[in-house]
C-alpha cells in the first residue's frame, strides 16, 4: 500500500530531473492504449502548472536545409549561456524509419551527449493531428522537467508548418540558397507563417548566392502580411556548420518573444493554440470511439469495395458506414 501510484512516481521523476522518467512519461503520453491515455491525462494535468515559461521555438525547412545542424550549434551555444535545451523532432509524413532517429542523434551528437540537453525523436504514426498533439504533450513534459528552451524541428512539407505553428511561440524558417528554395520558400503558406527567416549554408563560395537569396526573400516577404502583427519578419543569414549568424538568430528570437510578451500576443497565440488542441483532441476521441464500434471496420471495408466497383456513390457509402456505427446520418 505504501507504493506510490505510477503517475505520482513519474511526476516526481520528471520534475526531479530524472531523464529516464521523462522518457517514460513521453512514451506514456504517446501511447494510444486506453488505460495509458487515462494515466497520461492525469500526468499532463499534474505537470501543467509547472509549464508555460519556456521559449517554444519551431525550426522548419525542406529536408536537408540544415535544421538539425543549426539546432546542434544553437543548442550547444544556449547551454553555454546557462539554458537547458530540449529538442523534439516531428515528421508528420511518418516517412522516417528507426535509422533516421539515429541520424538525428548523430547530427546532434554534442547535444545528445550533453547533460543539459534532451533529444526526443518523432512519435510515429497516429491519426490526423495526433502527431502534433503528442509533440505538445512531450513539450509540456520537457518544460516540467526544467528545460527552458524547447526547439521543435519539423520538416517543411505542406501541412506540417501549420501544425508546427500550432505548437510554438516563434517559427523560424530555414532556407538554402541555390536549391530552388527561393521558389519553394516563397510559397505563400510557409512564408506567411514564419516569424523569422534564416538563410543557411552561407559559407564558402555560397556566400554571394546567399546574399542574393536574402534579397529575393526580402522582396517576396514584402508582399505578405507578417506572421506576427507589428513585427517585421527578419531575414538573417548564416551557416550552421560554420556557426555564424546564430547569435543574431537568437537575438531576433528574443526580440520576437519580447514583442509577443509586451503586446499580449503571446497569451492570445497560446490561447488559440489551446482551443485547437481541444478541437483536435475531441476529433481524435470521437474518431477512436467511432472506429471501435462493432461492425464499423467491416462496413468501411465494404463501402470502399463498393465505391471502387462503382456500386454506390460516396455519399451513399458514407451513410451506410454511419448507420453501421449505430448513428443517424446528418440530414
Ligand X SMILES: Nc1nc2c(ncn2[C@@H]2O[C@H](COP(=O)(O)OP(=O)(O)OP(=O)(O)O)[C@@H](O)[C@H]2O)c(=O)[nH]1
Picked from Mg ion, ligand X, none, the partner binding residue 61 (CB below 5 to 8 A depending on kind) is: ligand X
**Residue among 64 and 294 whose Cβ is closer to ligand X:** 64
Q: Which residue number, 51 or 241, has a Cβ lying nearer to ligand X? A: 241
Q: What CA–CA distance (Å, rounded) separates 86 from 104?
A: 13
What's the min distance (Å) between Cβ of 162 and Mg ion? Answer: 19
Among 39, 58, 60, 68, binds Mg ion (CB under 5 A): 68
Rg from Cα positions in the chain = 22
Which residues are at the interface with ligand X (CB under 6 A)? 61, 63-69, 107, 155, 200-201, 203, 239-241
Binding partner at 252 among Mg ion, ligand X, none, C-beta below 5 to 8 Å by kind: none
The reply to whether 200 sits near Mg ion by the rule CB under 5 A is no
CB of 42 to Mg ion, least distance (A): 33
DSSP 47-101: HGGG-S-SEEEEEEESTTSSHHHHHHHHHHHHHHTT--EEEEEE-TT----HHHH
Part in contact with Mg ion (CB under 5 A); list of ranges 26-34, 40-48, 59-67, 79-87? 59-67
The Cα-based distances of 105 to 89, 192, 326 in angstroms read 11, 30, 48
User: What is the closest distance, in whole angstroms, from the C-beta atom of residue 24 to ligand X in the complex?
Assistant: 26
- Shortest CB 174 distance to Mg ion, Å: 10
Q: CB of 210 within 8 A of CB of 216?
A: no
Asked if residue 303 lies in contact with residue 312, where contact means CB atoms within 8 angstroms, the answer is yes
- If one counts every other C-beta atom within 10 angstroms of the C-beta of residue 263, the result is 14
Q: Does residue 122 interact with Mg ion by CB under 5 A?
A: no
What is the number of the residue whose Cβ is closest to ligand X?
66
Looking at the Cβ atoms of 145 and 253, the one nearer to ligand X is: 253
Binding residues for Mg ion, rule: CB under 5 A, are 67-68
Amino acid at each position: 500500500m505504501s507504493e506510490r501510484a505510477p503517475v505520482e512516481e513519474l511526476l516526481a521523476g520528471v520534475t526531479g530531473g530524472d531523464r529516464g522518467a521523462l522518457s517514460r512519461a513521453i512514451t506514456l503520453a504517446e501511447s494510444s492504449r486506453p488505460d495509458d491515455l487515462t494515466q497520461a491525462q492525469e500526468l499532463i494535468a499534474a505537470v501543467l502548472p509547472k509549464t508555460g515559461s519556456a521559449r517554444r521555438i519551431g525550426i522548419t525547412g525542406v529536408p536537408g536545409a540544415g535544421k538539425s545542424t543549426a539546432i546542434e550549434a544553437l543548442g550547444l551555444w544556449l547551454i553555454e549561456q546557462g539554458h537547458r535545451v530540449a529538442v523534439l523532432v516531428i515528421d508528420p509524413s511518418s516517412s522516417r524509419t528507426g535509422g533516421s532517429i539515429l541520424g538525428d542523434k548523430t547530427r546532434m551528437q554534442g547535444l545528445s551527449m550533453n547533460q543539459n540537453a534532451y533529444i526526443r525523436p518523432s512519435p510515429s504514426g497516429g491519426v490526423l493531428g495526433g502527431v502534433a498533439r503528442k509533440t505538445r504533450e512531450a513539450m509540456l513534459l520537457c518544460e516540467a522537467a526544467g528545460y527552458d528552451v524547447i526547439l521543435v524541428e519539423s520538416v517543411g512539407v505542406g501541412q506540417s508548418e501549420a501544425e508546427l505553428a500550432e505548437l510554438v511561440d516563434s517559427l523560424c524558417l530555414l532556407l538554402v540558397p541555390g536549391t530552388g528554395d527561393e521558389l519553394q520558400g516563397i510559397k505563400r503558406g510557409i512564408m506567411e507563417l514564419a516569424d523569422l527567416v534564416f538563410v543557411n549554408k552561407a559559407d564558402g563560395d555560397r556566400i554571394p548566392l546567399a546574399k542574393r537569396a536574402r534579397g529575393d526573400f526580402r522582396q517576396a516577404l514584402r508582399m505578405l502580411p507578417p506572421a506576427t502583427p507589428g513585427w517585421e519578419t527578419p531575414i538573417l543569414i548564416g551557416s550552421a556548420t560554420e556557426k555564424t549568424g546564430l547569435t543574431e538568430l537568437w537575438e531576433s528570437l528574443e526580440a520576437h518573444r519580447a514583442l509577443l510578451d509586451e503586446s499580449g500576443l503571446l497569451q492570445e497565440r497560446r490561447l488559440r493554440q489551446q482551443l485547437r488542441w481541444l478541437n483536435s483532441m475531441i476529433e481524435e476521441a470521437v474518431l477512436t470511439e467511432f472506429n471501435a464500434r462493432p461492425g464499423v471496420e467491416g462496413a468501411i471495408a465494404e463501402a470502399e469495395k463498393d465505391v471502387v466497383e462503382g456500386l454506390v456513390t460516396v455519399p451513399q457509402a458514407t451513410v451506410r458506414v454511419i448507420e453501421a456505427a449505430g448513428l443517424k446520418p446528418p440530414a
